[in-house]
Amino acid sequence: MRKLAALGLSAGLALSSWAVARALGPRAARAWPDSAAPLSAPATALPAGFGTRRVYVDAGHGAPGNTGNKGAYCRDEQDFTVSLAEDLGAALARTGHFEVELSRTPGRLVPYAERVREAEAWPADVVISLHSDVRGRSEPWQPTPTESCPRSHQAPGFSVLWSDHGDAPLVARRLELSRALALALERTGFLAYDGADYAPTYAPDVQQRGVFVDRHSTAERVFVLWRPNVPSIIVETHNALDDREARRWDEPETRAAFAASVVAALGETLRGRGPDDH
């Protein structure tokens, strides 16, 4: 477990992708994940009286025997998520309105049950679990002369997953956070995944693109979605098999825009709630 204060990492909500797209003229109309597709980070100002909230950022996978998927650059999911979690946690801490704990650090394996216990004991106001997805039929390609990795351009985009198992107030807050984050990501310029490969294990939300409710059987329900007694969601940031998305998610401006979207969603869903309203 790692508690973050305001770290001296690069804060810039850089708009270099936007600047490149504008300079390229007609290419600026291209959509995510094209390299010229712009991202427009939302303002990160939080409502007056928002106070300080606790966010448990879970770097998905990285549990014993669970490295996650292997993407278009043969990178393990657990390595991507721990890197993104560090960047997101630092960005949240820099606002001065969030205390952040990370579920793990590079090289450390942490069982999911231990993560949930830590989040609840802290206690966290929300749990955000970061992942990447694998979708579509892949074909081998060589990103370097010595590597052969799987690649697919069939199903780009993000998804936000939640569970409707549990007490009604907790379920309602999970759904509220899921919708708020998906909307913020769309407005920023990220593509919402259409869910074509998800049935029958996830069902699409009737209101917001990119939001899906867990429909696994009872014995196979996703632990981090239903088990925490505080609102928890999973963000599948992109299709790890898509080399275009993988490249963009390593860009500082993409991560900064994502963090700004998370701040906007937390500001929307946590405002007006007291520190003990878990």
Q: What tens digit of pLDDT does each residue of 197-256 get? A: 999 999 999 999 999 999 999 999 999 999 999 999 999 999 999 999 999 999 999 999
Residue 214 within a domain:
yes
Residue 116 within a domain:
yes
Residue 26 within a domain:
no
Asked whether residue 186 carries a pLDDT value surpassing 80, the answer given is yes
Q: Show the tokens assigned to 246.
A: 């993988």
First to last CA, the chain: 21
Task: Give me the pLDDT at residue 274, please.
Answer: 53
User: What value does the mean pLDDT take over residues 257-266?
Assistant: 98
The residue type found at 199 is: A
**pLDDT confidence tier of residue 276, bands split at 50, 70 and 90:** very low
pLDDT in tens, 68-80: 999 999 999 999 9
Q: Would you report the helix, strand and coil content of the chain in percent, each value rounded to 5?
A: 35, 20, 45
Residue 56 within a domain:
yes
* CATH number for position 65: 3.40.630.40
**C-beta separation of 130 from 58 below 8 A:** yes
Q: Per the structure, how many domains does the chain have?
A: 1
Residue 36 within a domain:
no
**pLDDT confidence tier of residue 154, bands split at 50, 70 and 90:** very high
pLDDT in tens, 44-54: 889 889 999 99
Task: Give me the pLDDT at residue 272, please.
Answer: 65
Task: Give me the pLDDT at residue 129, please.
Answer: 98
* pLDDT, mean over the chain: 90
**pLDDT confidence tier of residue 63, bands split at 50, 70 and 90:** very high
Asked whether residue 183 carries a pLDDT value surpassing 90, the answer given is yes
pTM attached to this predicted model: 0.89
User: What value does the mean pLDDT take over residues 149-171?
Assistant: 98
Q: Show the tokens assigned to 101.
A: 């704990």
Nearest to 128 by CA among 92, 172, 164: 92
Nearest to 258 by CA among 29, 85, 58, 108: 85
Segments of 103-258 assigned E as strands: 126-133, 139-141, 149-151, 159-162, 202-204, 211-214, 232-239
| Residues 62, 38: Cα–Cα separation, whole Å | 32
Alpha carbons within 13 A on the beta-carbon side of 89: 28
Q: Show the tokens assigned to 39.
A: 């991202």
Residue 203 within a domain:
yes
What is the residue range of 147's domain? 2-6+51-270
Task: Give me the pLDDT at residue 264, please.
Answer: 97
Residue 110 within a domain:
yes
